[in-house]
Structure 1
Amino acid sequence: MNIPDHKLIIYQMLPRLFGNTNTTNKFYGSVEENGCGKLNDITDKALAELSAMGFSHVWYTGVIEHATMTDHSAYGIKTDDPDVVKGRAGSPYAIKDYYDIAPDLAVDVNNRVNEFQDLVTRTHMAGLKVIIDFVPNHVARTYASDARPKSVRDFGEDDDTTQAFTQENDFYYIPGQHFSVPQGYNPGGDEFTSPLKDGQFDEFPAKATGNDVFWPAPSINDWFETIKLNYGVYYLDGHKTYFGHVPPLWYKMHHILAHWAEMGVDGFRCDMIEMVPVEFWAWLIPKLKVTHPDLIFIGEAYDKNQYYNYIQKGGFDYLYDKVGLYDAIRKLTSNDGWSSTWDINAVWNTHCKDIDSHMLRFMENHDEQRIASRFFAGNPWYAVPGMIVSATLADGPVMVYSGQEVGEPAAGAQGFSGDDGRSTIFDYWGMPEFQKWVNNSAFDGGGLSTEQRELRAFYSNLLNAVKDNEALRSGAFYELMIANERQPGFDTKLYIYVRYTQQQRVLVVANFNRAEKNIRVKLPDDLLQKFGLDGKVNFTDLLTKNVVETDDIYSGVEINVNSISGMLLNF
């Protein structure tokens, strides 16, 4: 695998939300009522601001065409049945055509692929790289590609639908049975009407549902809008694998990713990779890197027992560290009484041992609740110590989700997902706090409060410090918890460590306490000797430029750190 010599700093955005300046926000509102951001809204100015904030990559979430309740038939696009669509806009993870761009995101729908190509060019001109989603496990129930090359066979086109499973099929079938829409599903809410909204969807024989539901009547809590793809694993026969020859689906997926890579895409965030056999990834990723050696693959993964397998065998460059650092930091940020920074120690010292460089750290993404929401911390400033640790613990990537940097709370019910502390991925919506930074497409933060400007400045200072400082970007790690656990003022809501190279050193102190802490931090003698330090040493906080001095480094450095805060002390 190819690990870059720089640290990836990723900005995730849904273009549908990012550029939308409409403030109506009607529950289950239509695209006409609530508006929709366009690819063209992501202007040179917007990208320059992201670059200035320290980002290296932009993950454009939801750009591939997916099923929607919006009628685009005037453009020759077949209308989707709303009974198998979640939300008025539809889920970006119910792909309708892997070779096409979502028409909602285009100013000129007939020119939508060119508008995406223009966005890729603008992004590269801003010094940023492009990541898009690859959704390998499932597609929309209405999947049908009209944008694929004529030489490429469509999914299911050659399937034997009388067979529940065969290695040659692209889908799994329930022979002799019709698919049933979940009872009680009211697509689009009471106000939405459509001739197709009748509680039925014609699918015979029924296909297996995306979240491994192998019967014809999935529940409303299942991924009922999707159908599972067949990589040669017979789930109903003890997950027996049929890899005697490469299944046809594998070649089709390779062609799809090569198509986007040739269009200038620099990397793929791969959805739910553990629902697809690791053998597929071990075949796909090296094959693509022969022709596109700099491609980056990020895997959404949750089984920490399989991390090594997907990195070492599967070839992934990076994996989510959700079941690990995110969970540990969330408990600390939420002031869980049982939380402890020793949980952070357990992350790098156990299930991420030796693979820290491959772990993507974050505090928000589209699946997780907003920090500022009442479901998480209720205050965006409480993220400060957690973001410091997420960004500086190791040299693997760090990610920020659009709106996080200004404290977007995702308040209220927005449509299909209800009021759950997440910015909807299913419906047309605007993000009120983020729109204050967008400021009618000026992207200058003109509507932000003073406190929001300060919050955004924190993120900018942190990310640029990581980008510019060699120790934080790629240095070695030395934890100082044991060396300081007997020091007055120490508790397990503090986390202390050093990142260092031969040229640069940074002492990181993160305070998850809801109170100010004063502690004399001691660096072990072996570390001081390694650094060649003695006597007076000055420390400069990379976040605030404040200076902390000590006359005798062997006695330690007296540090006063604010509540829910942290310091990056360069020395």
Structure 2
Amino acid sequence: MRTTKGLILILAIAALKSCKEKPKPAPQPMKKKEVVYQVFTRLFGNTNTTNTPWGTIEENGVGKFADFSEKALTEIKALGVTHIWYTGVPHHAVINDYTEYGISNDDPDVVKGRAGSPYAVKDYYNVDPDLAIDPSKRLEEFKALVDRTHNAGMKVIIDIVPNHVARNYEGKTNPDGVEDFGSSDDTSKEYAVNNNFYYIPGEAFKVPDWQEGYLPLGGEENNLADSKFEENPAKWTGNGSRLAQPHYNDWYETVKINYGVRPDGAKDFDELPESFREKDYKEHYEFWKDKTLPDSWGKFKDIAQYWLDFGVDGFRFDMAEMVPVEFWSYLNSNIKMKNPDAFLLAEVYNPALYRDYIHKGKMDYLYDKVELYDSIKHIMKGYGWTDHIPVVQKGMADIEHHMLHFLENHDEQRIASPDFAGNAQLGKPAMVVSATISTSPTMIYFGQEVGEPGAEDAGFGDPTRTSIFDYVGVPHHQRWVNNKKFDGGQLTKEERELRDFYKRLLNFTISSEALMGEYQEIHFYNKDHTEDYDHRVLSFVRWTSNEKLIVLSNFDALKNYSLNLKVPEDVITKWELTDGDYPLSEVLYGEVSPKLSVINGQGQIQLDLAPLQSYIFKLK
């Protein structure tokens, strides 16, 4: 017995010594915020200023992959960008003749605009021929752009649109073994689990009954614009219309994908158990691995993996809420198994679905449109109150990291448009709040940083948004492009100063530790305790043990505030500050250096806040 006990003791001491001798793992650097630069690829490098409504590619010009030169990418990176979302890359239907490259012409009756909707994808295994100098080498040219982007220190995001495809989908460059959408469908049935589309048996498709303003090509004569498109039987339209003749406001240029959801809503696939909300992508992957699934699921998995192999680092998923959450669990877990760092961003507008698509669907990020964006937009337009913003943040506290923030994207009105704020300067306090209030990524839309108003009548659709359907130049952005010097040489003084503001702000956000740390609003405390503080001002604090920030923004375009801003006692306690004076540095412009005075446990900062001014104070 003594021998056995002694041996056990010796072994235990040796094991303990071995554990002590193991080197400690190196501390991991704290993750910083990410910034996505959304750029409409065909518009970025276009220097043509003609802007004829419904203009051809020859009249109005088009940008190319090659326009994203090393210089251009260096300047985008210097703006404070970590990821570029190249919008409109997959080959979508266009009104341009590429038949010499083996591409069929598209019918204007099922194409929006002349350059086409980027969300009516015609071939998922290739890219828009408009974007290539040599359309026969368009994939090679895009691959070169992916490599240049990586070499510039940024990651690449492209669109995948699983809810629908172009009405005239043709996979001309499918990899070996990949079958086209719908090629094996039983078109005699409205629904079959492995059909890729839904059908209207016995009825042929009819183009919409056009109204003024919606005529294909603006009413221009074209031998294909004959109010006819051959599709028999008709398919359901992308937005879910089950009419053989969709309305002109429907997504008539697309057809809806079938994921095994019957017309009555019943599902022909397993639903995820509730417990999978808490499980990681590896467990989601295992759940689906051996199951028989609808054909469309595998087709989109193959598409995503093709682009990951190509070098793409992530995806923006269009109208994700129109596709069952179980499919996203399957797709995203497969993507993460291949690339755990893939950036997965989804368009979901129903707040009641947010947590399902994050936890069950394994999305990294969703648009924070209906909550934060809409609240800030109302404030910028003059009738919203900043009081609503802390309420939104409190309601999102459990998922705040997953809610990507933005003030512009291709679907939203430009800030400088008269139908929105009418003045790009009104976006400055809004952008400070949007970029610093949470740990989520920030997105900026190209041209936002120079006050682009989206005023061009490009053809399809109305101004206020930069057109995604037609060939057009983007004037303020073009002044920054400056004949492809990408140096802002033609910008006005105000535009240069605006871009400098965005550059300062975004670069701070991607370097700040505190912006990935704790958040607490001090807005309502100041409304109760600070004279002259009102609902046009917003304040909050962000911190980690190493960095402490006080953020203050004035949304009022006319009023100057003279404030003795208060930092509540509980924040002072959390920051472990005692009574006394603490110097502050202002991180955006450094024009003021006030002090935080702690008196009887409460912090106070005496300052003046000019119209539309923001301060980010850092405790020294």
Partner of 2:304: 257
Q: Which amino acid aligns with 1:229?
A: I
The equivalent residue for 2:284 is none
1:466 pairs with 2:513: no
Q: Distance in 2 between matches of 1:119 and 1:415?
A: 29
Change beyond 3 A, Cα 1:29–1:95: same
Determine helix, strand or coil for the equivalent of 1:451.
helix
Aligned mate of 1:507, from 535, 540, 550: 550
- SS of equivalent to 1:20: coil
Instruction: Decide whether the 8 Å contact of 2:456 with 2:466 is kept in 1.
Output: no
Does residue 174 of structure 1 match 2:221?
no
Aligned partner of 1:485 among 518, 521, 527: 527
| From 261, 269, 275, the counterpart of 1:233 | 261
Q: Evaluate the alpha carbon distance shift between residue 526 and residue 346 of structure 1 in structure 2; reply closer, same or farther with a 3 A threshold.
A: closer
| Counterpart mapping for 1:229-308 below 5 A | 229-234=257-262, 236-237=263-264, 239-243=265-269, 245-308=292-355
Structure-2 residue corresponding to 1:220: 248
> Bigger shift: 281-290 or 550-559?
550-559
Q: Conserved in 2, the CA contact under 8 Å of 1:536 and 1:549?
A: no
1:419-568 aligned at under 5 Å gives the runs 419=463, 421-472=464-515, 474-486=516-528, 487-514=530-557, 515-533=559-577, 534-550=579-595, 552-554=597-599, 556-568=604-616
CA deviations over 1:152-180 (Å, ceiling 9, x no partner): 11100100000001111000000000111
Residue 4 of structure 1: how far off its partner (Å): 9.2
Match of 1:122 among 132, 140, 148: 148
Q: Which amino acid aligns with 2:591?
A: N
Secondary structure of the residue aligned to 1:452 is helix
Q: Is the Cα–Cα contact under 8 Å of residues 97 and 146 in structure 1 kept in the other structure?
A: yes
3-state SS, counterpart of residue 136 of structure 2: helix
CA contact (8 A) 1:511 1:561 kept: yes
Contact 1:136 1:276 in 2 (8 A): yes
Distance in 2 separating the partners of 1:470 and 1:26: 48
49-58 vs 482-491, which deviates more? Answer: 482-491
Q: Distance in 2 between matches of 1:411 and 1:285?
A: 38
Residues matched between the structures, number: 561
The correspondence for 1:404, drawn from 439, 445, 448, is 448
Aligned with 1:233: secondary structure? coil
**8 Å contact kept, 1:10–1:58:** yes
**Matched AA of 2:402:** H
Unaligned runs of 5+ in 1: none
Counterpart of 2:331, as a letter, is L
The answer (yes or no) to whether the contact 2:260–2:267 under 8 Å persists in 1 is yes
For residues 8-66 of structure 1, the C-alpha deviation after alignment (integer angstroms, 9 at most, x for no partner) is 10100011110000010000000000000000001110110011111000000001000
Deviation at 1:536, TM superposition (A): 1.4
CA distance in 2: counterparts of 1:410 and 1:4, whole angstroms: 38
Aligned to 1:9: 35
Q: Distance in 1 between matches of 2:510 and 2:261?
A: 43
Does the 8 Å CA contact 2:594/2:607 hold for their aligned counterparts?
A: no
Deviation at 1:353, TM superposition (A): 2.5
**Does the 8 Å contact 1:38/1:106 carry over to 2?**
yes
Q: CA deviation at 1:455?
A: 0.2
1:346-398 residue CA offsets vs partner (Å, 9 max, x unmatched): 21111x23100011000000000000001100000000111001100111010
- Deviation, 1:145, is 0.4
1:111 equivalent in alignment to 2:158 = no
- SS of the residue corresponding to residue 568 of structure 1 reads strand
| Distance apart, 1:149 and its partner CA | 1.1
SS in 1 for 2:147: helix
Mapped to 1, the partners of 2:218 and 2:331 lie a distance apart of 41
Residue pairs, 1:346-385, within 5 angstroms: 346-350=391-395, 352-385=396-429
Q: Equivalent residue for 1:413?
A: 457
User: Does the aligned pair in 1 maintain the 2:47–2:473 contact within 8 Å?
Assistant: yes
> Residue 174 of structure 2 corresponds to which residue in structure 1?
148
- The two structures, once aligned, show a CA RMSD in angstroms of 1.3
Q: Equivalents in 2 of 1:178, 1:288: separation in Å?
A: 38
SS at match of 2:593: strand
196-205 vs 534-543, which moves further? 534-543
Q: Deviations over 1:388-410 (max 9, x none)?
A: 01100111010000000001111
Aligned equivalent of 2:9: none
Give SS of 2:510's match: helix
How far apart are the structure 2 equivalents of 1:546 and 1:553?
22
> Relative to structure 2, which stretch is displaced further, 445-454 or 543-552?
543-552
What letter is aligned with 1:434? H
Given that 2:32 and 2:511 are in contact with CA atoms closer than 8 Å, whether structure 1 keeps it comes out as no
1:268-318 CA distances to partner (integer Å, 9 max, x unpaired)? 010000000000001111122112211111010100011110011100000
How far off its partner does 1:553 sit? 2.7
Show the counterpart of 1:341: 386
How much has 1:76 moved relative to structure 2? 1.4
Identity of aligned residues (%): 47
Q: Distance in 2 between matches of 1:85 and 1:552?
A: 63
Instruction: Determine the structure 2 residue equivalent to 1:395.
Output: 439
CA shift for structure 1 position 565: 2.2
Of 219, 238, 250, the match for 1:190:
219
Aligned mates of 1:60, 1:401 — CA distance in 2:
11
Look up the equivalent residue of 1:272 and give its one-letter code. M
Determine which structure has more spread, i.e. the larger CA radius of gyration.
2
> Is the CA contact 1:171–1:227 (under 8 Å) kept in the aligned structure 2?
yes
Q: CA deviation at 1:548?
A: 3.1
Alpha carbons of 1:412 and 1:20: their partners in 2 closer, same or farther (altered >3 Å)?
Answer: closer
Q: Distance in 2 between matches of 1:541 and 1:260?
A: 43
Cα shift at 1:551: 6.8
For the residues of structure 2 that align with 1:35 and 1:176, how far apart are their CA atoms?
Answer: 43
Contact 1:548-1:559 at 8 Å conserved across structures: no
1-side partners of 2:460 and 2:117: how far apart? 10
Assess, with a 3 A threshold, how the Cα gap between structure 1 residues 400 and 210 changes in structure 2: closer, same or farther: same
